Amino acid sequence: MLSKKMILLCLLLMGIHLAGQIPRIKDIAQIEGIRENQLMGMGLVVGLRNTGDRSEAALKALRNLLKRYNFQITESQLAAGNVALVMVTANLPALSRKGSRIDITASSIGDAKSLFGGTLLATFLKGLDQNVYVVAQGYLSPSPGLPTVAAVTEGGIVEREVPTSWVSEKQEIHLRLNNPDFNTAARVSEAINKKFSGELPCSYPIDMTIVKVLLPERYRGKENIARFVAEIMLLPVLPEVPARVVIQEQTGTVVMGDSIAIHPVTIVHNQITIRIQGDDKGITTVQKLVSALSALQVSSKDVIQILHILKKSGALHAELILVNH
């Protein structure tokens, strides 16, 4: 900390040129009706090295499985610890086709110590409608530091496709913004209408989350819908970013946008005097303030306290978010 020194900071707001590519619609929105589906099933892992379940439930499950193959055996004849009951889960990607493969995860639900070296036997994975969509099987690869949870890369085979309806009977699709905002919704709609300016306006925002898009006449054939969607999803749109300053108090990390405004103000904190002067509009930015304080080796603790003071004084025009973990 700088002691017994008067620090004068004259911060001027300058025009900032943002280098880099503007986000595309596909980066900030999704097509409503096209999404992942969660699947779940109960499975049995075999081949464990005496690290499996000791309960009778696992042995009963194995005995019942062997009965399907006309193999009669009693539970006393099975070795406890070599099998484990697991809950198998997976996320079925949108528009997955029959025969494609997906990753699956198996988690022990008994008293197994480890799933290392085990093999998941064929397991039916169902959706909320109780239909079987995936059959999972394969050698398990336990998670580091968590031996009772394991994965099988591409261990699930899609057996049923999820019906999707993302184009309505009125030949409309809905775009759902990842971060709802009225200005962003309006910009998305404007970009689409500009792209197809030779036709009737085909898009408008319903609210801060949904943008409705009407397929132009020349794209209404099944063979053209995908091409239309590809064209609009590649359109560049600059989303509205909320004014937020995120502070991790334990590490002193401060994350902020480039243009969060601070109005002129003078702060006296721990023998440090900070006088913030803006441009001709009377404002500067949080980024310039934090950069200047860091250059003067002001401690992160003092930087965070200064931001709190600015917020309480009304000079900082942003939401202040504290993260404690």
**Measured distance CA(119)–CA(138) in Å, rounded:** 6
Strand partners, 176: 30, 210
Options 3.40.50, 3.90.1150, 1.10.1060, 3.30.70; which CATH number does 25-33+165-233 get? 3.90.1150
φ, ψ at 56 (rounded to 5°): -75, -25
Local structure of residue 115 (DSSP, 8 states) = -
Contact 223, 298 (CB under 8 A): no
Range among 7-21, 75-89, 229-243, 297-311 with highest mean pLDDT value = 229-243
Which tokens hold the place of 74? Answer: 């009693």
Provide CB contacts within 8 A for 190, sequence distance 6+. Answer: none
Alpha helices in 146-221, H assignment, sequence order: 182-195
Quick check: 2 pLDDT over 50?
no
**Measured distance CA(288)–CA(303) in Å, rounded:** 12
310 against 89, higher pLDDT: 89
Contact 186, 223 (CB under 8 A): no
Pairing, β 172-177 against β 37-46: unpaired
> What 3-state DSSP class applies to 55?
coil
List, for residues 32-45, the tens digit of each pLDDT value: 888 899 999 999 89
Least confidently predicted of 7-16, 79-88, 130-139? 7-16
Q: What value does the mean pLDDT take over residues 125-141?
A: 94
Cα separations in angstroms, 130 against 39, 125, 231, 233? 9, 9, 37, 34
Cα end-to-end distance, the chain, whole Å: 25
Pick from 136, 189, 166, 133: nearest CA to 35 = 166
Locate the domains of the chain by residue range.
25-33+165-233, 37-158, 244-323
Task: Name the pLDDT band for 155 (thresholds 50, 70, 90).
Answer: very high
pTM: 0.65
Its sign, for the CA torsion 268, 269, 273, 276, is negative
Strand partners, 274: 267
Contact 228, 219 (CB under 8 A): yes
Quick check: 250 pLDDT over 60?
yes
Which tokens hold the place of 13? Answer: 């707001």
101 against 305, higher pLDDT: 101
List, for residues 196-238, the tens digit of each pLDDT value: 887 766 899 999 999 999 988 888 877 788 889 999 999 999 9
Which amino acid is present at 6? M
What is the model's pLDDT at position 70?
Answer: 63
Pick from 35, 85, 82: nearest CA to 58 = 85
75 against 94, higher pLDDT: 94
